[in-house]
């Protein structure tokens, strides 16, 4: 049987395939009857050899192919290195035409991420097997996904904690799931509260810094100071806030430089080592500030940081708020 398991919700895709592996016959024989193939470097001949092999001392054989379908997304072949037969769809569709002769003991699973409806290999395989698409919820429905995942981990999470996670992390299932597991360990059977998310999840703290920088850029001194107080009230020292704002300003300087050199947005994200939602926020902020203004802000942040580290008599919280007021006024 052929299974097509794919979608943007890569956590659910992985879980679905893991469940198939767990049910693939006796545990002591799984190493020989479960084959995992990665698309990178895979040839049609290698896939055929695995798929048409009969199981060893078991009723069924499981062959899992990861990432092959995405190689045939429209527009990807021209950018792939060393395309040749490996990336030409012809040999693969020819192989797909032979899959009606698969041994009845073989379960052939194609697992992948988000795919388009015009994917050439997916179109060829779809009539031959069962398809399961794991899509991420849109808009506010991501909260339901978080609550469902929390229940899978046996944890109770407050609605405000769910909303905070959704707002700060966004539609990134693998990161959300990892943070939920961390929160479950931290609370050890107790309900997860909003303050737990604010304390434990780095993305939440970074989101607060984004908002504080926004307020500074837009001259909203009161909002910027209020946000800075929320961060310090949560247990972070004032110097942390200054350091994080300085980090964000450095990212803005780098982004502005790359923008001036017409570097593609996806490459900007890779160079800055930021997730997509953070790249979008950074580029949005970068467009509001001149290069000269960013350099001025950065210089003032560095000077304040050095002064706080070298003078023990300074009131850090007061210094932070005075700095924000000064930066907000431009």
Spans of all domains in the chain: 2-133, 143-200, 203-329
pLDDT at 203: 66
Cα 294 from Cα 260, distance rounded (Å): 15
Query: Above 90 in pLDDT, residue 134?
Result: yes
| Cα-to-chain-centroid distance, residue 12 | 14
Cα 176 from Cα 29, distance rounded (Å): 34
Query: What is each CA distance from 226 to 131, 223, 242, in whole angstroms?
Result: 50, 5, 14
Pairwise pLDDT comparison (310 vs 51), residue with the higher score? 51
pLDDT at 142: 87
Tell me if the domain spanning 2-133 has CATH number 3.40.718.10: no
According to CATH, the topology of domain 203-329 is Zinc Finger, Delta Prime; domain 3 (1.20.272)
Cα 64 from Cα 70, distance rounded (Å): 15
pLDDT at 79: 43
- Tokens (6 digits) for 96: 């797909």
| Backbone angles phi and psi of 56, in degrees to 5 | -105, 115
Cα 226 from Cα 211, distance rounded (Å): 11
Closest to 319 (Cα-Cα) out of 217, 208, 245: 245
- The dihedral built from the CA positions of residue 38, 42, 48 and 53, taken in this order, carries a sign that is negative
3-state SS, residue 35: strand
User: Of 36-40, 123-127, 231-235, 249-253, which range is least confident?
Assistant: 231-235
Cα 27 from Cα 21, distance rounded (Å): 10
Cα 228 from Cα 226, distance rounded (Å): 5
The stretch 313-327 carries a mean pLDDT of: 86
User: Of 38-52, 148-162, 234-248, which range is least confident?
Assistant: 234-248
The stretch 73-85 carries a mean pLDDT of: 52
Closest to 74 (Cα-Cα) out of 114, 24, 139, 120: 120
Residue with tokens 């808009």: 139
pLDDT at 81: 43
Do the two domains 2-133 and 143-200 of this chain adopt the same fold?
no
Tell me if the domain spanning 143-200 has CATH number 1.10.8.60: yes
Compute the radius of gyration of the chain from its Cα atoms. 25
Cα 241 from Cα 232, distance rounded (Å): 8
| Cα-to-chain-centroid distance, residue 32 | 33
| Cα-to-chain-centroid distance, residue 151 | 21
- 284 half-sphere exposure, CB direction, 13 A CA radius: 11
3-state SS, residue 37: strand
pLDDT at 76: 56
Cα 147 from Cα 118, distance rounded (Å): 33
Q: What's the chain's average pLDDT?
A: 85
Residue with tokens 């054989």: 61
């Amino acid at each position: 049987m052929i299974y097509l398991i794919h979608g943007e919700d890569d956590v659910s895709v992985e879980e679905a395939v893991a469940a198939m592996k767990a049910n693939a016959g006796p545990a002591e024989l799984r190493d020989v009857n479960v084959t995992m193939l990665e698309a990178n470097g895979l040839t049609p001949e290698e896939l055929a050899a695995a798929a048409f092999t009969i199981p060893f001392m078991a009723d069924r054989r499981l062959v899992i192919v990861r990432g092959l379908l995405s190689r045939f997304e429209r527009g990807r072949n021209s950018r792939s290195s060393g395309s040749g037969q490996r990336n030409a769809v012809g040999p693969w569709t020819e192989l797909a035409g032979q899959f009606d002769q698969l041994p009845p003991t073989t379960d052939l699973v194609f697992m992948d991420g988000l795919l388009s409806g015009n994917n050439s290999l997916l179109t060829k395989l779809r009539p031959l097997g069962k398809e399961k698409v794991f899509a991420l919820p849109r808009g506010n429905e991501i909260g339901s996904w978080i609550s469902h995942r929390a229940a899978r981990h046996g944890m109770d999470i407050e609605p405000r904690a769910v909303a905070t996670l959704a707002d700060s992390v966004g539609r990134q299932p693998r990161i959300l799931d990892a943070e939920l597991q961390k929160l479950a360990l931290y609370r050890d059977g107790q309900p997860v509260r909003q303050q737990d998310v604010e304390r434990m999840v780095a993305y939440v703290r970074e989101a607060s810094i984004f908002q504080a920088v926004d307020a500074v850029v837009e001259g909203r001194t009161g909002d910027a100071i209020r946000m800075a107080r929320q961060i310090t009230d949560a247990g972070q020292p004032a110097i942390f806030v200054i350091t994080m704002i300085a980090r964000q300003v450095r990212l803005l300087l780098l982004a502005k430089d790359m923008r001036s050199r017409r570097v593609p947005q996806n490459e900007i994200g890779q160079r800055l080592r930021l997730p997509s939602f953070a790249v979008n926020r950074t580029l949005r902020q970068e467009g509001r500030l001149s290069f000269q203004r960013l350099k001025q802000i950065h210089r003032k942040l560095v000077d304040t940081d050095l002064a706080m580290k070298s003078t023990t008599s300074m009131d850090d919280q007061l210094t932070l708020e005075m700095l924000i007021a000064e930066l907000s006024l431009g």
